[in-house]
Chain A
């Protein structure tokens, strides 16, 4: 346990340093309002990052999450708009859309044995295309029907933030405490060894991809609620942002290693960077430059940390 806390310490310090730096560089960064803004922005990214963490630990990748979010959001927009469904029915349709996309990704990559990179790249296009079709490429304004989800209620947190934090907590517990999580780590470490131990890795992998899709669907609800609109372009580029956040959190792209809580830190670090740089009034090129540097630096630091630990043991 103490080991785990020490692991979080490094990221916590990095985050703290970032917050203090922005505090010094701007007039109003260190305020309740800023943190409320960040808290309202991260839920969708957290949900997607939770799923992505599992996928990366499996040594897979899911490039479709951004587009699936867009599609699920468009479904929500269509359900509440032209189709005139009730909110529960609309939410159900949204989540089912995400689940279906994820399940399809999983089925193709696991049972047809295609690389997940290719399968989800295909899904990325398919889902986006479908999103445009479903929404007729129009942004739908949903207003108060969904806004309450993103509105602050309990302890200064919105239902959306609470759902995201709950998903992260559940994800971390599943990963570290359950049979399923242990299998996920083992498969990501050496799938053949797991198979030869008499465990069928396929259903486990399939569930992980399906869950990633479902979480993207949930993220779509949260995202749509925050903006009170269903935008068919929503989530474009989110897959890379999620991968960046997860990697900042120290999850290995090679599989077998990762932590949901650390991914959460990654998401928050990226959100703080975005908000802080905007408050500083940094120009677009500078923002991109700095964000890129932070991602690379995080991975470099993580690599050194691992190597020094590896050396200790050898």
Chain B
């Protein structure tokens, strides 16, 4: 009995030691500390999401080219909705004495308190991707610049491109993202702008929770309930892929058009063949870079914070040609 216990304990120790070695090996090489070189922390949402991964990659490439100008601390959370984990990340960055934080908030209100702590600690805070809630910021007396694309405008462009292929009065449906997020709300508004302008008929707007399988279920159900549907406006490309599968299952390939948002690599082929009519490229790879450049500028010139809009481009079969 004793012998076995001891054996097991030894096994655990060996395992832990192995794990420690593995973790050390995985850690990125610490970059040489150059005094005076500002440290910029990039805090993102889920690195499981292609969009943020691209964003991180862009930031790392930019840093490699500009190694002399700044030091980069890039971090993301596991679950896109884990606001708490992201707030602690912001606090860790304060503790690590970063000079600036470039933040893609998981929630537009819940991260305001963490930003306030960062600002109070003297850090420059730049908001990218998902805009912090204006009212919440005002209440705290914070002015945090937003650097990023206008999602509403982008969604409107995509919607207008779709509308050009439809008739006034045609039935369409929106597949929303997670309805509590700013981007989901903005994209929905942008789609609605386009729908109203073109006189289309919006018969349903439901959440696909940014997920392919969920969007597939919703799209399939809507196709069943509204046989007259002519198009789906999906708030991201993953959901557009789900809708494409639902359309195929319903045998309505010729009859229903689908648009998405984000321009992920998996839809490129579908856009080329017209299965997805259009999507929007908001230059994910450069979004963080825009934020970082802005942070460097602010650190440099101490200029007052002001929002800066970054481009969103419509992607269609033509633009890909």
Residues of chain A lying within 8 A (CB to CB) of residue B264: 138-139
Tell which of B47, B204, B266 touches A139, judged by Cβ atoms closer than 8 Å.
B266
Tell which of B204, B227, B245, B265 touches A227, judged by Cβ atoms closer than 8 Å.
B245
Contact status A37-B248, CB under 8 Å: no
List residues of A (134-171) whose CB comes within 8 Å of B's CBs: 136-141, 143, 147, 150
Interface residues on A, range: 35 or more
Given contacts A37-B249, A235-B213, A279-B225, 13 further A-B pairs with CB under 8 A are A28-B227, A34-B224, A128-B48, A150-B249, A223-B213, A226-B245, A227-B213, A227-B216, A228-B245, A231-B213, A231-B241, A275-B224, A279-B222
Residues of chain B lying within 8 A (CB to CB) of residue A128: 48
Contact status A138-B50, CB under 8 Å: yes
How many angstroms from the CA of A31 to the CA of B250 in the assembled complex? 12
- Give chain A nearest CB distance to B57 CB in angstroms: 10
Residues of chain A lying within 8 A (CB to CB) of residue B269: 141, 143
- Give chain A nearest CB distance to B225 CB in angstroms: 4
B 206-245 to A, binary, CB cutoff 8 A, 1 in contact else 0: 1101011100111011111111000000000110011011
- Give chain A nearest CB distance to B315 CB in angstroms: 15
Assess whether B49 is interfacial by the CB under 8 Å rule: yes
A-B contact count (CB 8 A): 118
How many angstroms from the CA of A40 to the CA of B48 in the assembled complex? 27
Assess whether A13 is interfacial by the CB under 8 Å rule: no
Residues of chain B lying within 8 A (CB to CB) of residue A36: 249-250
Residues of chain B lying within 8 A (CB to CB) of residue A312: none
Contact status A275-B50, CB under 8 Å: no
Contact status B220-A233, CB under 8 Å: no
What are 26 sample pairs from A and B whose C-beta atoms fall under 8 A apart? Answer: A26-B225, A27-B225, A28-B226, A28-B227, A33-B250, A36-B249, A37-B224, A37-B250, A41-B216, A132-B48, A138-B264, A139-B266, A140-B266, A141-B270, A226-B245, A227-B216, A227-B245, A228-B241, A228-B248, A231-B213, A231-B241, A233-B211, A234-B213, A236-B211, A278-B206, A281-B206
Assess whether B305 is interfacial by the CB under 8 Å rule: no
Assess whether B179 is interfacial by the CB under 8 Å rule: yes
- Give chain B nearest CB distance to A82 CB in angstroms: 12
